[in-house]
Amino acid sequence: MINGIFKDTMANMKWTEIQNFVDKNALVLLPMGVIEEHGPQLCLGTDIYTAHIYCLAIKEKLEEKGHIVIIAPPFYWGVCQSTAGFIGSFHIRKETAKALISDILLSLSEFGFNNIFGVNAHGDIEHNIAIIEAFREAREQLHINACYAFDEGRIPLFGLKLEEPYLCPIKPQTIKVSKAEVSDVHGGDVETAMIYEFYPNLVDVEKAKSLPPITLDDESVEEWLFGGHIKDLSSQGYIGSPADFESVEVRKNVDDYADIISEAIISRMV
């Protein structure tokens, strides 16, 4: 169990403690997510809880390698595109999200931090554009190493290459962590398992076990990605197989992602 998204972040520290991290030129991890419906079995905060869990594990990995790391207050007012219109998916405009991320990066830079890495657990296109643009501008305008850890396979879909200095490409996961035949697109087995492991009170277990698997075909993937069709694709707001959550190897999943992302971050350290 984890005691909330502020655990081991700046939000639980005094300014004098943060000053110590600045003096040591610490690397900053910024956990990123949204507040969004995740099916009838899961809480709205699933993505930001998940990003924070990853940041705790990444911090540990980087510290083992001798780096000094601090976690920024979690950012969770991002863009809900694919589940837009569903109760619980807060409608934050892309411009609002981008402006807020920019202001957070500016604040961190003004505090004196030089290396800032965004770790995000929410896949929507507009959300990722907001993050990419904010990190690119921060890097160009503030002259800091602001770098967004983003899935290597998705970078070309955004018209980008892999060498942009404001992107830190994450290699795909090569291990299998779930026995479910239906992959977790949204609120499926992996997300349900992650929250159940660290915040068991936030999962309705009986409900999760009662839910039939829901998949997308090639045509509906696009409808999903661009948003506005969630209720036609899944009336209950999930895509995947929440009922298989107990077969997910959660610790192995967290450890593997933390390995992959911390290696990606080290490759972009200056």
User: Which positions touch Zn ion (CB under 5 A)?
Assistant: 46-47
Distance of CA 132 to the CA centre of its chain: 13
Distance of CA 185 to the CA centre of its chain: 14
Kindly state the smallest distance separating residue 241's Cβ from Zn ion, in Å.
Answer: 15
Query: CB-wise, 89 or 262, nearer to Zn ion?
Result: 89
Residue with Cβ nearer Zn ion (47 or 189) = 47
Shortest separation between residue 176's beta carbon and Zn ion, angstroms: 20
**Token pair for 154:** 């998705």
- How many whole angstroms separate alpha carbon 228 and alpha carbon 98? 21
* Residue 119 DSSP code: E
Nearest CA to 121 out of 76, 155, 159, 83 is that of 76
Smaller CB separation from Zn ion, 21 or 198: 198
Instruction: Give the nearest residue (CB) to Zn ion.
Output: 47
Q: Which is nearer to Zn ion, 28 or 92 (CB)?
A: 92
- Which is it for the CA torsion 210, 46, 165, 81, positive or negative? positive
What's the Cα-to-Cα distance from 154 to each of 2, 47, 143, 216, 247, rounded to whole Å? 30, 18, 26, 18, 27
Q: Which is nearer to Zn ion, 46 or 102 (CB)?
A: 46
Q: Shortest distance, CB of residue 37 to Zn ion, whole angstroms?
A: 10
Count of CB atoms within 10 A of residue 40's CB? Answer: 16
Least Cβ distance, residue 259 to Zn ion (angstroms): 21
Q: For residues 191 and 121, what is the distance between their CA atoms, to the nearest angstrom?
A: 10
**Smallest distance from Zn ion to CB 122, Å:** 6
Q: How far is the CB of 216 from Zn ion (least distance, A)?
A: 15
Nearer to Zn ion, 127 or 139 (CB): 127
* Cα–Cα distance, 174 to 128 (Å, whole number): 23
